[in-house]
Chains A and B, each alone.
Chain A
Amino acid sequence: MTDRFTYLDAASAEPLHPAAREVLLAAAEQGYADPRRLHRPARSAGLLLANAREVVAEALGVRRDEVLFTSSGTAAVHAGLLGLGSRGIGHSAVEHQAVIDAARWSQRSPVTELAVDGEARVEGAAVREAVRAGDVDVVAVQQANHEVGTLQPLDEVASAAGPASLFVDAGAAMGRLPLPSVGDAIAGSARKWGGPGGVGVLVVRRAARWRWPFPGDEWSRTDQGFTNIPGALAAAAALQAVVAERDEVNARQHELVALVRERVRTEIPDVDVAGPAEDRLPHLVTFSALYVDGEALVTALDRIGAGVASGSACTSDTREPSRVLAAMGALTHGNVRLSLTRDTTREDVERVLDALPGIVKDLRAEAGL
């Protein structure tokens, strides 16, 4: 048993960035009022919100009036996707659950799944095929996959989508990578970049044919409900910091993930490392160990002080295996995803890598292999 805990689940939620912490506290004291009112605290809150919007816009390289804050990344996805098009939806087979849920809920027809290759990459031909008949008028493809890290060929997707609108879920990538140059609406989630939970960002490009898809007045069209102003400001501060340090952090993380890929492949027999070695998110890696129960693997890692996620059926609420792993033909059981935080060290990673072969071997022995 160790006192140290190595948190390797940044792709679910990155710990609050130090740049966000002070801002969150200060803004919580000053940004409580309803910015629509005409008194001084309201003006103060309004200024903080305008500031948050400006910082996010600058960090993403877009205009201020293209930035909306939502109550979560999921809410940004829902509003972004459902605000585009009116007929059918084509989405990649490896989209986040929030996209799948929104497409199903929309009752639009048809809802078409776009095939991916063995590295979870969307094929332009699948997009072209989906929009060819003209009844799919919005295409949803993520910037990068949240489970295996694959970067999607968005330029190719946009060109294949033709006149259809393009929705991009940038949840896994926003802040870490430059905003895609294509996409009519692009959604992100602050807790994935070290902002607080419960803050989403939706970028709606000015030329987009997008409208607010939910009930509400003029105000709720620019911000869903009453914006979490301290949260938005802290999210903005974290985003600004992450963008400023990403060259250094990404290079370090890319190298550590390469180390994980290499050592897992060579030191653990019968392991399937999913996703491409290059053209991927810098901070996450996923692999599956044959004959191993995913839940047992996550629990064993927790016991040695390492926190990871899993896409295996036994670890999910629905008892269904990861749709991403299934779509790319990867092994779905015995799966773990390691995702590095901005201050994960080589020592942290090596400690887990040193323990993994023994853990897998023991679990296989327990299973009678």
Chain B
Amino acid sequence: MSAPIVTLDCRGQACPRPIIELGRHLGDVEVGEVIAVAADDVAAHHDVPAWARMRGQEFVGEVEAEDGVPVYRIRRLS
């Protein structure tokens, strides 16, 4: 799994803020590169993959940060 070029820190932010940040910052990585978002909001677990499906991006998976917060990875496809 490719390492993310950019990781957004959305700890403590409630839905839909982490997804909004993802939408705003997708352009920070090139097509083919991976962007990640660290979010402890429970809705992000469902909404990051749903966002990727709706926006035509690739949801790569979920890993855990050192503090236990989920980090979601997305590969920019377009």
Contact = CB atoms under 8 A, between A and B. Distances in A.
A139 interface: no
A291 B50 CA distance: 12
Given A329-B49, A333-B47, A312 B15 contact: yes
Contact of A331 (B14, B20, B45, B51): B51
Given A321-B43, A331-B47, A270 B16 contact: no
A331 B51 CA distance: 7
Interface in B13-63: 14-16, 19-20, 23-24, 41-43, 45-47, 49-51, 53-55
Interface of A: 270, 272, 288, 290-293, 312-314, 319-321, 325-326, 329-334, 367-369
7 contacts: A291-B23, A313-B14, A331-B50, A331-B54, A332-B43, A332-B47, A367-B16
Nearest to B22: A291
By secondary structure, the B interface counts as: helix
A332 B48 CA distance: 10
Given A272-B50, A331-B54, A291 B19 contact: yes
Contact of A270 (B14, B24, B55): B55
Contacts of A325: 46
Contacts of A332: 15, 43, 46-47, 50
A350 to B, nearest CB: 26
B43 A333 contact: yes
Interface centre among A272, A292, A329, A367 (most CB of B within 10 A): A367
Contacts of B16: 290-293, 333-334, 367
Given A314-B15, A333-B43, A369-B23, A270 B53 contact: no
Nearest to B15: A333
Given A290-B19, A320-B42, A332-B46, 16 more contacts: A290-B23, A291-B23, A293-B15, A313-B41, A314-B14, A314-B15, A319-B42, A321-B15, A326-B46, A329-B46, A329-B49, A331-B46, A332-B15, A333-B43, A367-B16, A368-B20
Nearest to A289: B16
A329 B41 CA distance: 17
Interface residues of B, number: 19
A288 to B, nearest CB: 8
A331 B52 CA distance: 10
A321 B46 CA distance: 9
Contacts of B20: 291, 367-369
Nearest to B49: A329
A312 B54 CA distance: 17
B52 to A, nearest CB: 11
A272 B51 CA distance: 10
Contacts of A314: 14-15
A319 B53 CA distance: 24
A320 B47 CA distance: 12
Nearest to A272: B54
A367 B18 CA distance: 11
Contacts of B43: 312-313, 321, 332-333
Contacts of A329: 46, 49-50, 53
Contacts of A326: 45-46
B22 to A, nearest CB: 9
A270 B22 CA distance: 14
A110 to B, nearest CB: 24
A329 B49 CA distance: 8
A364 to B, nearest CB: 9
A121 to B, nearest CB: 18
Contacts of B45: 326
A14 B54 CA distance: 33
A274 to B, nearest CB: 10
A334 B23 CA distance: 15
Contacts of A319: 42
Given A329-B50, A330-B50, A313 B19 contact: no
A321 B20 CA distance: 17
Name the 7 nearest CB pairs between A and B, nearest first. A333-B16, A331-B50, A326-B46, A321-B43, A333-B15, A313-B43, A291-B20
B70 to A, nearest CB: 14
